[in-house]
Amino acid sequence: MAMEYRRLGRAGVKVSVLSLGSWVTFGNQVDEESAASLLKIAYDAGVNFFDNAEAYAAGQSESLMGAAIKRLGLRRSSYLVSTKFHWGLNPGVNERGTLNRKYLLQAIDGSLERFQLDYVDLIYCHRPDRETPIEETVWAMHDIIQRGKALYWGTSEWSADEIRAAYEIAERHHLHKPAMEQPEYNLIHRDRVEKEYARLYEDHGLGLTIWSPLASGLLTGKYRDGIPADSRAALPGYEWLKNGTITAENIARVERIRPIADELGTTLSKLSVAWCLKNPHVSTVILGASRAAQLEENLSALEVLPKLTEEVLNRIYDALKPQS
């Protein structure tokens, strides 16, 4: 099925409704060669946005993606690439867990060097920084754009109040406004996107580039019979997934939607990815994949969209409710 494109909120730029991110995978499960083949599969399917962050694999993810893009010889104007700042790569007091001006203006240069690019398209404040005044961060993001090092800026997992404050500051000083937020959004994690941000779409034209559409793989149903040795939840350092996300209760909820996927003649993964796109405020769903077959499956999720009727959606929501 042909790829679809949506505007990034009120911004003029269009993103493919399915995009590809590199968290966990690039530099941990995926080397440069596989990274290039994943990017190629995505690009050939019409994906025009690749998501990254400074912190992913401590900078290695940006290097791998940059090398893969170069190897594939992708036309720079045909794709968008992102990065995000907050956690930092070095231990200094102004280099970690901050959105202060000093850190941000240096961080962008490091990312561009690792990507081997002159500019990135989207930059995000990866988390809020409750110590730095929002005004200082807004000015720094504006200045990065003014210097031609990025085109649009946004936030990731900021509260609605923080996003609104950033808009108001940008408006007051005629600065570049935040164009998009990057929140988690999937069948088991909905409130922030559907309730907390509800006013921001109309009021400010907020676009959404949503993450973990499969809740780190939970919504594929792959954890039904335990933790597969080659899955994310088995990776060292990702044990925390078993506490909050891949719990017995959530596995049971997913199993209750499996028959609905079967009936629609699709898979849990495709159903779950397509569901995210039913929300018109979602500009793009960022897919993650540790291997080609997963990406190919998820890229065909668009064919499921027409099957997600009101009646089917209500059955899914009933199945997900806690059972007494």
**Tokens 């890229």 belong to residue:** 299
From the CB of 28, what's the least distance to ligand NDP, in Å? 9
Query: For the window 164-193, what string marks contact with ligand NDP as x by the rule CB under 6 A?
Result: ------------------x-----------
Which residues make beta-bridge pairs with 210?
Answer: 285
CA distance 276 to 287: 11
Nearer of residues 277 and 287 to ligand NDP, judged by Cβ: 287
CA distance 147 to 236: 40
Interface pick for ligand NDP out of 11, 13, 17, 23 (rule CB under 6 A) = 23
**β-pairing, 14-16 with 5-7?**
antiparallel
Q: Interface with ligand NDP includes 289 (CB under 6 A)?
A: yes
CA 200 centroid distance within chain: 19
From the CB of 2, what's the least distance to ligand NDP, in Å? 21
Grouping H, G, I as helix, E, B as strand and the rest as coil, residue 6 is: strand
Tokens representing residue 63 in the block: 């290097």
* Residues in 56-115 that interact with ligand NDP by CB under 6 A: none
Grouping H, G, I as helix, E, B as strand and the rest as coil, residue 30 is: strand
From the CB of 173, what's the least distance to ligand NDP, in Å? 26
Nearer of residues 93 and 229 to ligand NDP, judged by Cβ: 229
Instruction: Judge contact between 274 and 308, C-beta under 8 A.
Output: yes
Query: For the window 212-231, what string marks contact with ligand NDP as x by the rule CB under 6 A?
Result: xxxxxx--x-x--------x
Q: Which stretch binds ligand NDP (CB under 6 A): 22-30, 64-72, 112-120, 141-149?
A: 22-30
Tokens representing residue 221 in the block: 């149903």
Per annotation, catalytic residue among 5, 43, 56, 119 = 56
CA 52 centroid distance within chain: 8
Nearer of residues 63 and 156 to ligand NDP, judged by Cβ: 156
Size of the site for ligand NDP (CB under 6 A): 29
Which residues make beta-bridge pairs with 6?
Answer: 15
Q: Interface with ligand NDP includes 137 (CB under 6 A)?
A: no
103 counts as catalytic: no
Q: Interface with ligand NDP includes 128 (CB under 6 A)?
A: no
- Nearest Cα to Cα of residue 88 among 78, 97, 99, 79: 97
Interface pick for ligand NDP out of 18, 298, 299, 304 (rule CB under 6 A) = 298
* Residues in 242-281 that interact with ligand NDP by CB under 6 A: 269
From the CB of 109, what's the least distance to ligand NDP, in Å? 21
Interface pick for ligand NDP out of 232, 257, 275, 308 (rule CB under 6 A) = 232
Q: Interface with ligand NDP includes 156 (CB under 6 A)?
A: yes
Grouping H, G, I as helix, E, B as strand and the rest as coil, residue 154 is: strand
Query: For 54-66, b where at least 16 C-beta lie within 10 A, e where not — what string?
Result: bbbbebebbbbbb
Give all strands (DSSP E) within 134-225, no chain letters.
150-155, 178-181, 207-210
> Which stretches of the chain bind ligand NDP, using CB under 6 A?
21-25, 51, 156-157, 182, 211-217, 220, 222, 231-232, 269, 286-290, 294, 297-298
Q: What are the catalytic residues?
A: 56
